A and B are shown apart, each in its own frame.
Chain A
């Protein structure tokens, strides 16, 4: 019991450059009880995101253009319906819708992918050294990259309409807030889906409803007072409004709404991570 793995590894390697996996001295422990290294978590996350994106776009002819095309088509439909057929009377309607649509597309796409991320990547979960908490995060980050592909188009539209305000530089902060919010939801729905296969359906229905409860193709100021308060409970409403405030010079959401959204996102993320890591050892047996 005296000998450590490191010593044996060095002796055994005998000149060959085998990689000793763990720099710690040997210690028998319950499997997977070892602490997650943040460095490894980040590297795995980035690599898996890259791998996912590479694999999705490589076999198609349009490749990277696809996510942009998808968003532009949806934009065109919304602009036609709510700008021409049922005119909501909003200024700069295409830019207005696009800014909301980008945030929403990411939210809906990421949440859907994250919900199924464990069920659909069973083989990855069976890799002993992969921290499972990586998978929902990867699912959330992949559609962010897709959405960012559309950002230059939005900025070009803004330029044509009269210029990009300096506040646009704060967009990354907002992206981080939305990422935190989405990670919390992702951990909860992904873990829940393993034990209750109905959750992907529930998520799909909820996203459908939430699309209309989020001011994507309308503004909060256009709706009756008594419902505005209710809609502000939806953190995505505040986030979408904030994107518009930064990009289009719309009024900023109130301090209360911002504080509520920040607390909601942070709280949900912490809760999600705690719940996820608490049940993750039970995933494999239930898949």
Chain B
């Protein structure tokens, strides 16, 4: 069995409390009190985290900001002390954490690469060579002698990763940073990481990019407020994490007819608000927000206009997949030539689909009201109103035509 490269044994970690508060002379003069207050008030950044990695294995870290991913990476890189438990790591750990900070913007890319190489533990005899290869990997030869001040964020990242890519560490720690680069360079980095993994490097990778994480890691650890919420196969953990995020969104979704609760401007509500949409209900033939694949759906909404009348606003209703980008169907009063005329005060609008013709699955209904020539939206509710098409879906398909027929030759 391959050798261990990192091992966390029931690791607990809290930060000194005074960092977030004021330091007083009294607190310093009375060490007993100080540690007492530290114990009582400390918030755990990590709580009882255990895992181990062997050569060539990779572990992804998932979680909200502040869930403890960075703390964990820091501890693995030997920065900071555990409060309880034990961290063991192989002596040749390399990291791409807080990349930008060590770059000196007045110095050239080449000079900074040399510093990065030395900081990573490369000896001077090899460092010059490493720098040239790093610049080549990062495709920055042309800019090697320009000050880093003139670099874009992407170029800085390429420079820093270029140096790390020349190393062959036992354990590689990667933070979010890698997501900054352009797609092509990111693929190059990932290819290099795969190469390192094949050579026995273990990878500890924190990212919000779940796709990338699932692709790059064998296993994943889902952290929530410092606790391990779930550990297991990367794909499965990612899946469960997604489900939970989805559920949280739907929880915040208002019950149809509940008015404006749950709508947040610039998040799921956009538009000038000169006309507002309220009291949206999505009623399917199987009840509120539910419909059979062949059933009918009625979307009702109230338009409100305060102030002088507005001429011919356009109302649009569309159905989208809850997950994914696909827009399934769309209808509006402009193309359907149903003019609303002059609007002031309140008006109730109903839209009816006789047959929804969609495969079973989770969908959302978006509603919007637009300026008469589509210049901008007055109000638009994005992914707020769920619609479930009932049944078992054995297919990725969306469109489910009702009038269908098979003809089989004898």
Query: Which residues does A use to contact B, with CB under 8 Å?
Result: 1-5, 8-9, 11-14, 16-22, 24, 26-32, 34, 39-40, 43-44, 47-48, 51, 54-55, 58-59, 122-130, 196-197, 281-282, 284-286
The answer to whether B316 has its CB under 8 Å from any CB of chain A is no
> What separation, in Å, do the CA atoms of A4 and B3 have in the docked complex?
8
| Residues on A with beta carbons closer than 8 Å to the beta carbon of B16 | 285-286
Nearest CB of chain A from residue B254's CB, rounded to whole Å: 44
The answer to whether B166 has its CB under 8 Å from any CB of chain A is yes
| Residues on B with beta carbons closer than 8 Å to the beta carbon of A8 | 55, 199-200
Chain A: CB-nearest residue to B120: A129
Is the Cβ of A30 less than 8 Å from the Cβ of B126? no
Given A9-B200, A26-B5, A285-B80, residue A31 in contact with residue B119 (CB < 8 A) = no
Is the Cβ of B196 less than 8 Å from the Cβ of A31? no
Given A8-B200, A18-B167, A18-B168, 19 other A-B contacts at CB below 8 A?
A9-B168, A14-B199, A16-B195, A18-B199, A21-B120, A28-B6, A30-B87, A31-B89, A40-B123, A47-B118, A47-B124, A51-B104, A51-B115, A55-B107, A125-B79, A129-B93, A130-B119, A281-B80, A284-B79
Is the Cβ of A24 less than 8 Å from the Cβ of B80? no
> What separation, in Å, do the CA atoms of A123 and B6 have in the docked complex?
24
Is the Cβ of B121 less than 8 Å from the Cβ of A129? yes
| Residues on A with beta carbons closer than 8 Å to the beta carbon of B1 | 1
Residues of chain B at interface, number, CB under 8 A: 63
> What separation, in Å, do the CA atoms of A235 and B93 have in the docked complex?
43
8 residue pairs A–B, Cβ–Cβ below 8 Å: A1-B4, A11-B200, A17-B129, A19-B130, A19-B166, A28-B6, A55-B107, A126-B101
> What separation, in Å, do the CA atoms of A30 and B8 have in the docked complex?
11
Nearest CB of chain A from residue B370's CB, rounded to whole Å: 49
Query: Which residues does B use to contact A, with CB under 8 Å?
Result: 1-7, 15-16, 19, 23, 28, 55, 74-81, 86-95, 97-98, 101-102, 104, 106-107, 111, 114-115, 118-124, 126, 129-130, 133, 166-170, 195-196, 198-201
Chain B: CB-nearest residue to A4: B3
Is the Cβ of A47 less than 8 Å from the Cβ of B166? no
Is the Cβ of B15 less than 8 Å from the Cβ of A285? yes
Given A31-B75, A123-B102, residue A20 in contact with residue B92 (CB < 8 A) = yes
